[in-house]
Amino acid sequence: MKVEMLACGYGLIEGPRAAPDGSLYFSDVHNGGVRRLLPDGDIELVVPKRRGVGGIALHASGGIVVSGRNISHVRDGETRILYERDGVGGFNDLFTDDRGRIYVGSLRDDPFRIGGEERKTGDAYRIDAPGEAVTLYTGVALSNGIGFSPDRRRMYHSDSAIAGVITHEVDTDGEIDPSSRTVFASLDRGFPDGLAVDTDGGVWVAAYGSACVVRFAPDGSEDRRIAVPANGVTSLCFIGDDLDELIVVTADNTDDPSRAGTIFRVSADEVRARGLPAPLARI
């Protein structure tokens, strides 16, 4: 089977992150909680109740880093706040670099609001240490997936409100020139949510509202699509010993609406790519 259902019955699933032991962390944005899907299929609750978690990273000292109303490190039931900011309604997708710093986008408007007045835009930050962050750039209308090119010289960032993935040049210190911003790729239907990058520089995007994931080649051209039985495709990550399978998470299930938010695994034969490992957070 090319697309296999692993778990279902959740609300809006987000933030999938594979662990070295083959388990998978994921969040339920609306119903709350971060869970861990074990290789044997059992599911354990790791962070109870916390809502709005759009991004998850593994931490070098154990536990996980989660977004939401702030950025926190949760380990053995204890929560350590790494970063919070006045005027920010929440933080969404996040990613880490080779130094263990955290890159995250902020939300200053209701991410589920449709129409009405112009959106209040958010920003992108690099968190260098607890309580210390650099504003990398501004003007992100609806922040979602974040990732880096294989050489770490480009940062990709889904802006769902413009139906596109923006990109910036990154130097060896993690500094970004805001004037280098370009629109890397755009969706012709739906909007980009979570993303992941493969070893060849392809950018895989969860196409919310388009029932698929899309791979964009390094030049931004669409390479291929993989259909998923869900309209609300929210995020994705690579998994497996060789990072050659794809986890896709959703907010619904069109094969059987009663299944609601679902976790799917796409086989290596269908993916035909290997993902980049996600560095551990170290702050």
The domain that holds 80 is classified in CATH as 2.120.10.30
Tokens matching residue 173: 């210190």
Q: Look at the chain and report how many structural domains it folds into.
A: 1
CB 244 within 8 Å of CB 198: no
Proportion of the chain above pLDDT 70, given as a percent: 99
Q: Compute the distance between CA of residue 219 and CA of residue 199 in angstroms, rounded to an integer.
A: 14
For residue 66, the SS3 value is strand
Model confidence band, residue 115 (pLDDT cutoffs 50, 70, 90): low
Tokens matching residue 256: 């059987």
Q: What is the mean pLDDT of residues 156-168?
A: 96
Residue 281 covered by a domain: no
Residue 140 covered by a domain: yes
Q: What is the mean pLDDT of the chain?
A: 95
Residue 246 covered by a domain: yes
**Domain extent for 242:** 3-271
Per-residue pLDDT at 214 = 98
Secondary structure tally for the chain: helices H, strands E: 1, 24
Model confidence band, residue 221 (pLDDT cutoffs 50, 70, 90): very high
Residue 136 covered by a domain: yes
Per-residue pLDDT at 3 = 93
- 11-41 residue pLDDT tens: 999 999 999 999 999 999 999 999 999 999 9
Half-sphere exposure of 178 (CA within 13 A, CB side): 10
Residue 280 covered by a domain: no
Residue 279 covered by a domain: no
Q: Compute the distance between CA of residue 145 and CA of residue 139 in angstroms, rounded to an integer.
A: 15
Q: Choose among 178, 174, 167, 179: nearest CA to 218.
A: 167
For residue 30, the SS3 value is coil
Q: Are strands 222-227 and 233-239 parallel, antiparallel or unpaired?
A: unpaired
DSSP state of 257: G
Tokens matching residue 197: 């990058």
Per-residue pLDDT at 116 = 65
Q: Is the pLDDT of residue 113 over 80?
A: no
Run of H or E including 135: strand 132-140
Model confidence band, residue 243 (pLDDT cutoffs 50, 70, 90): very high
- 60-95 residue pLDDT tens: 999 999 999 999 999 999 999 999 999 898 999 999
Per-residue pLDDT at 1 = 56
Contacts of 182 (CB under 8 A, 6+ apart): 166, 167
